[in-house]
Chains A and B, each alone.
Chain A
Amino acid sequence: GENVEQHPSTLSVQEGDSAVIKCTYSDSASNYFPWYKQELGKRPQLIIDIRSNVGEKKDQRIAVTLNKTAKHFSLHITETQPEDSAVYFCAASLGGSYIPTFGRGTSLIVHP
């Protein structure tokens, strides 16, 4: 089955800095890579996703990059704000299985 590794487990930055979270996956057949944000005590919510036919996707201050050859993808958050503080999960889905494998999560702390 698919295996997703996520790093770092904790990331602390100053407001305004950039934050990068990296994930690797094991199965080259995976073709859907969503990122979820979970605020304390809340449910995970999708913030951005990318499919294997695209190398990069941006949405305002967040972007995701995908390197299929190396089997890794990353989340980039620019100009971080305190409200970005949350746990971020990456996931990978094996094409057509509809079952995502989640990483262990990264706790992002943005200091004002």
Chain B
Amino acid sequence: DAGVIQSPRHEVTEMGQEVTLRCKPISGHNSLFWYRQTMMRGLELLIYFNNNVPIDDSGMPEDRFSAKMPNASFSTLKIQPSEPRDSAVYFCASSFTSGGDNEQFFGPGTRLTVL
């Protein structure tokens, strides 16, 4: 397996623009997580899906952020409109959770810069 795949790897955009980040989890994994990492706030969980259903989105900072998982092999995180304070590295991670917690496999991340 190629591991968790994220695209794009780098994104530079201007304030006010829409940004869409994409993630393909490891085949067979039933849980998917979106994280945001900054120096100031560390690694923050934004949203967690289990079997394609959003279970916990309490970490989504505000209505400008939305996430979808239309099927087991694809998820998107959208920011509209983007702001400079959204600049961060966004990681997608997947795991197989059944009967207990297990290792999360992180994607390479998307480095987002909002000018």
B50 CB contact (under 8 Å) in A45, A98, A103: A98
Known: A98-B48, A99-B45, A99-B56. A93 touches B106 (CB 8 A): no
A105:B42 contact, CB within 8 angstroms? yes
B28 in the interface (beta carbon within 8 A): no
| Max chain B C-beta neighbours (<10 A), residue from A31, A32, A93, A98 | A98
For the complex, count residues of B whose C-beta is within 8 A of A.
20
Q: Size range of the interface on A?
A: 20 to 34
A100 contacts which chain B residues (CB < 8 A)?
A: 45, 101, 104
- Of residues 50 through 80 on chain A, the ones whose CB sits less than 8 Å from some CB of chain B are 51
A91 → chain B closest CB, angstroms: 9
- Of residues 23 through 75 on chain B, the ones whose CB sits less than 8 Å from some CB of chain A are 31, 33, 42-43, 45, 48, 50, 55-56
A104:B42 contact, CB within 8 angstroms? yes
Taking Cβ atoms with an 8 Å cutoff, the residues of B that contact A are 31, 33, 42-43, 45, 48, 50, 55-56, 91, 95, 97, 100-101, 103-104, 106-109
Q: Given A96-B101, A102-B42, A104-B42, 6 more contacts at CB 8 Å?
A: A31-B101, A32-B101, A34-B103, A46-B104, A89-B43, A96-B100
